[in-house]
Amino acid sequence: MSLGSGPRELVVLGTAGAVPTRERNHNGYLLRWDGTSVLFDPGEGIQRQMLHAGVSSPRIERICVTHRHNDHCLGVPGVLNRMAQDRPGREVTVHGPEDAFEHLRALAVVAQANVRVTVQGHPALEEDVPVADVAGSALTARALDHRVPALGYRLVEPEHVTFSPDALRAAGITGPDVGRLQREGELRGVRLADVSTRRRGQVFAFVMDTRLCPSVSEVVRDADLAVLECTFTDRDADLALARGHLTARQAGETAARAGVRSLVLTHVSARYDGAELEEEARAAVAAVGGRTTVRVVRDLDVVPVPPRAERSSVAA
């Protein structure tokens, strides 16, 4: 549960790779985060999936698209129309790489929806590019390695400071001096670390179509919940490389080495069973001594962001 209003959780709307199947819809992932929602990569049919999942469109403030391939964005017009039905005239921002700007703008025009749409194209760089503030957390993007320019998204909550009342009392710090100590870091010989605990903010990461590259590790680094594609198994690694995708082994090993707590695998090729991909990823985590939990999700699954890992109450 977040410090804000509402849960922090991922609602999985679609999990297919490239083409839908009888069991898996085109891509679509909705992140609920402190009373707002961010929709990632809405493919075809996502408006109907939202109804099945009980997702409320008025809470969606942003749509983040990783790249311009249609299985990751063709649902944009339908979603915009859903928004216009639920709250006419509202504002929504569509984010994507600069390469996809005209494509995304055309989808917004085709929708002819009664919503105020802003399309923002972000440079695909091998460094964090600021995208937006999401309920006080920083959303950034970084270039991946696909057949067209693609972005991975990372959402980071700021670090929080929690004071110990007993430690403050023993140090004689009261009233406005508490705020002064927090701002300045030290007051009358008392360090902030002596009377407080720093608690890291939660981190969410989203990586779709990409070959294995250093940016994948950077986007998912220390994430509490990371969503990664796993289109192929390792026996088809050559095919994954040629088509610009990850294998389940690559996804599992990368997540484990990057310190991911909970790994969601998706974008499943119709040629595989999800259990096979999950087994391969778990074996990769175990091989490097990682503690990352692994789950290949199905349509309409709901995955909570893991609770924060608490640190010791007061710094030594």
Supply 43's token pair.
């493919």
Q: Which of 41, 71, 224, 299 is catalytic?
A: 71
* Residue 209 labeled ligand binder: yes
Give 33-46 as a DSSP string.
ETTEEEEE---TTH
* Residue 103 labeled ligand binder: no
DSSP 16: B
Give 77-142 as a DSSP string.
HHHHHHHHHHSTT-EEEEEEEGGGHHHHHHHHHHHT-SSEEEEEEE---SS-EEEEEETTEEEEEE
* Residue 72 labeled ligand binder: yes
Give 214-273 as a DSSP string.
HHHHHHHTT-SEEEEE--B-GGGHHHHHHHT--BHHHHHHHHHHTT-SEEEEE-B-TTS-
Residue type, 22: R
* Residue 99 labeled ligand binder: no
* Residue 71 labeled ligand binder: yes
Supply 226's token pair.
């990371």
Q: Which residues are CB-neighbours of 92 under 8 A, at least 6 positions away?
A: 60, 61, 62, 63, 80, 83, 115, 116, 117, 118
Supply 225's token pair.
């919940």
What are the percentages of helix, strand and coil residues in the chain, rounded to 5? 30, 30, 40
* Residue 67 labeled ligand binder: yes
* Residue 26 labeled ligand binder: no
Angle at 11 between CA 4 and CA 73, to 5 degrees: 110
Residue 71 falls in the annotated catalytic set:
yes
Residue positions in the annotated binding site? 67, 69, 71-72, 146, 209, 267
Active site residues: 71
Residue positions in the annotated binding site for Zn(2+)? 67, 69, 71-72, 146, 209, 267
